[in-house]
Chain A
Amino acid sequence: MNSVRVGCLLGTLLLSACLATYYSALADLLILDRSAVFEGQLWRIVSGHLVHLSDAHLLWDCSVFSVLTFLLHCLDRRLVAGVLTSSALVIGLAVVLFIPQVSHYGGLSGICCALFMAIVTVLRLQVQGPMKWVVNIATLAFVAKIIAELFSQTTLFVDPDPTWISLPQVHIAGGLAGTAWAYLFLTKDRLRSKLSLNFGRRGQFN
């Protein structure tokens, strides 16, 4: 995906998130509503990520999402679309299948976690020396943050809305999805190049 496309995608997603947050009719149509999903409105599994519950929720999610999407694009532009799509699906399905007490879900934070872990995975596969330590520390800090959220059931700075419960589980789902996609994608390339090398050698023998 080239830079213009990524820019367009990012702009479209941010604009959609703003519209979905501030226009209640659109939010009603897009939010991940468990019962509506079971009635067949499957788009909500993905579109629910665009709906945010407050200004602060939208602000932090979109800020982090923009930075991380740009970083992943710089590192490996081929990964962007795949990480976004796969994590959106995995998180939405995880909410529907494994968190039954939540009737409605919204927010880009799970996808942000997927982007974060995808970047970390790419760096871990590519960097060496002291840079590897920076990556390891960032990974540990990220994991520690999720553990802290799991115990406190809240975020540190965003004023919690009393109607809404924080779900660090979706950050775990997002992180795993991002890691898995980036790892499989990159190792698939290596595997393919290894295989093509072997085929070439075999050809030489032939």
Chain B
Amino acid sequence: MRTILLTILLCCVFPVSAGGTLKAVMSNDQTPLIQSHRINVVINNGFARTEVEQVFSNPNEHAIEAIYAVPVPQSAALSELSIFLGDMELQGEVLERDKAEELYQKEREQGRDAGIASKDAFDTFHFRVSPVPSMGESRFRYVYYQPIDIDTSVGRYVYPLEEGGTDEVAEQFWTRNEHVSGVFEFDLLIKSSWPISSIRIPGFSDAVQSKGNDGSHHIQIKRSEHDLTSDIVVYYQLEENLPSRVEFLAYRPEASADGTFMMVVTPGLDLKELNQGADYVFVLDYSGSMQDKLSTMQRGIEQTLGKMNSNDRFRIVRFGNQASELIGWTQASPKQIESAMSRLSKSSTIGGTNIYEGLSMGLEKLDQDRVTSLILVTDGVANVGLVEPQAFHQLMTTVDIRVFGFLMGNNSNWPLMRTITQASGGFYKGVSNSDDIVGQVLLAKSKITHECLHDASLEIKGINTYGVNNEFLNKVYRGQQLVFFGRYTKPGQARISLKARLSGADKTYQTEFDFPEVAVDHPELERLWALMRIEHAEDMHNAGLMDEAESESLVKALGLEFQLVTDETSMVVMGDDQFEQYGIDRNNRNRVMLERQAQLTRSQAPIVSPRVDRKKPMFDLPAPSLGGGALDPIHLLLAVVLALGVFIHLRQKS
């Protein structure tokens, strides 16, 4: 009975947490212990594969169900869940959410080994494994993929662990064990075809870095115990003055199948600094959930204000349950900035999160003659006032202002932030408490204070493509990398055009390259493309361009076809016999087999540059770091021919 009650509650209340095992407050059981936690990350060719393996132990005198929850990493495609019984691996399959839950419960009640992975909106991945035998252990592993973009030559990878603090109801219901009593290992391999000048892992001074002969970089953190309470953020900086470029990866298993591609455009653009004074409105979240993030936010604001020119102006609006203007339009002189920071530091958090009212107030009192940017800093969980994304979309389309969003911490509502910033042509960034806040501010500042490309659009001609995420492109900022996913029906030479307006003039940047007939190295691209389509469906729904039923149906179809854990689908793990008995196809097992084979092949191959516009660069090259002539076997052959000539000539002469 207690188990049933717990299950019902689990379904009703989404558990949020830092990385850690959970148990209901009312339960008399002891929380499962985390014996070991191993994270293995490979960043290669623009996307990261994160594999987490964890061993639980059960200190109770009866078998229990272990529940583990982690914040959802941004744009993560959860694709594998496995439970290990000794050396045997039980792999999961993605099913409709309700069906997966029903089968898991059925297996669990019959005492058979089973597991389930589900996703709660933007918030939490939770994993349940049953049974963990009394005084025994249970080992499980999950894998997710996510695209990694490079901003102004800086790549950033986050392994989220820190509690977002955005769901008070769940926090009151669950108690958590975040402590790893045994081995904690973080192993990250960066295989970059561009040279990396430095790597930084804030807060982990014991991280060991090494460089492989093939130019790859390896970072390792190993501890005998660890608390899963703070994020691991890894920055890697590429060398300066690298050429602008187009990089392209494709997956097309056979000539008769549709192909999937990922194209990363790193523009080299002459975007001039905006020297005339500009206006900045800061709209700051002072709701209760921001309590632990206030100091990070205030540091960020101080850094941003400190970088302003004296002819800039700023204004600060704060919001909790209601919005209020903390500081009206003020010239950005050192004295005024100091006074503003003093007032900010005295502000404390209170109540709920009324983002809509905060934004509405931020959009007031704008001077039409000055360029204005609105900087929204929040954890993004709107729970007071208007909360529907459609309302935000409508609000932002009524004014011509760029909104730059900073999402603080994990469990943040980044789909909502994406809606807000896309509608205004701005951008958003996640900011962890473990982040180099100064670095993040500087990156954002360089975008805000420079020209950007307007009305940008991407065209692919010469081949048939579909499902390309080029609808919300609009503006391209300094240092911004553009990541496109799509599918194509026929191979051949494609002409890629990026059209935009810069300083009032039309600009077209073009290149040409081949979409391959067969390419088998990156099967993971299919899942990443499907994830992009899922996010696109959410965006369309948030913008009021797609109704909820249609969006859910699309998400479900994509989740099932490409075996992704989504809001509509979950991954259930059970024995092979059980899958057969229930008549469930092993789609995910087949995908995983292909992906592992490709990963093995890639791990043994040298790093290959995916650049495709070398022959016909899309952009004017900025100063490259290195240049030179190169000789090859043809030159050596010519030299040998010449040697023969010289030899004959010298013999004749003598």
Contacts and interface: CB of A to CB of B under 8 A. Distances in A.
B636 A165 contact: no
B241 A103 contact: yes
Interface string B20-49: 000000000000000000000000000000
A95 B636 CA distance: 24
B632 A102 contact: no
Interface of B: 193-195, 239, 241-243, 245, 609, 611, 614-615, 621, 623-636, 638-646, 648-650, 652-653
A104 B624 CA distance: 8
Contact of B626 (A61, A106, A135): A106
A119 interface: yes
Given A71-B639, A163-B195, A103 B625 contact: yes
Contacts of A164: 624-628
B243 A165 contact: yes
A103 B624 contact: yes
Contacts of A105: 626-628
Contacts of B623: 101-103
Interface string A94-125: 01000101111111011011001001100100
B630 A158 contact: yes
Contacts of B609: 160, 162
Given A101-B623, A103-B624, A141-B638, 6 more contacts: A99-B627, A109-B630, A134-B644, A153-B615, A158-B632, A163-B624
Contacts of A63: 631, 636
A104 B629 contact: no
Nearest to B242: A163
B109 to A, nearest CB: 56
24 contacts: A60-B636, A63-B631, A71-B642, A74-B650, A103-B626, A109-B631, A110-B629, A123-B642, A131-B648, A134-B641, A134-B645, A135-B645, A138-B645, A145-B635, A153-B615, A154-B614, A160-B609, A162-B242, A162-B245, A162-B611, A163-B195, A163-B626, A164-B627, A167-B627
A45 interface: no
B632 A156 contact: yes
Contacts of A75: 646, 649-650
- Chain B at the A interface: SS class: mixed
A105 B642 CA distance: 28
Contact of A116 (B239, B639, B650): B639
A8 B640 CA distance: 22
A123 to B, nearest CB: 6
Nearest to A95: B627
Contacts of A153: 614-615
A168 interface: yes
A163 B239 contact: yes
Nearest to A119: B642
Nearest to A137: B641
A67 B366 CA distance: 73
A43 interface: no
A88 interface: no
Nearest to B192: A162
Contact of A102 (B193, B627, B638, B650): B627
Contacts of A120: 642
Interface centre among B193, B195, B628, B643 (most CB of A within 10 A): B628
A137 B611 CA distance: 35
A152 B615 contact: yes
A60 B633 contact: yes
B628 A166 contact: yes
A61 B653 CA distance: 30
Contacts of A57: 628, 630
A107 B630 contact: yes
A76 to B, nearest CB: 10
Contacts of A156: 632-634
Interface in A128-142: 131, 134-135, 137-138, 141-142
Contacts of B242: 162-163
A60 B645 contact: no
Contacts of A74: 646, 650
Interface centre among B245, B623, B639, B652 (most CB of A within 10 A): B639
B627 A116 contact: no
B624 A126 contact: no
Given A67-B643, A101-B623, A163-B242, A138 B628 contact: no
Given A153-B614, A167-B627, A126 B638 contact: no
A122 B636 CA distance: 19
A107 B626 CA distance: 11
A131 B650 CA distance: 12
A44 interface: no
A174 B638 CA distance: 16
Interface in A23-75: 52-53, 57, 60-61, 63-64, 67-68, 71, 74-75
Given A67-B636, A71-B642, A116-B642, A109 B625 contact: no
A163 B194 contact: yes
A205 interface: no
A67 B615 contact: no
A109 B611 contact: no
B645 A123 contact: yes
Contacts of A145: 634-635, 638
Contacts of B648: 131
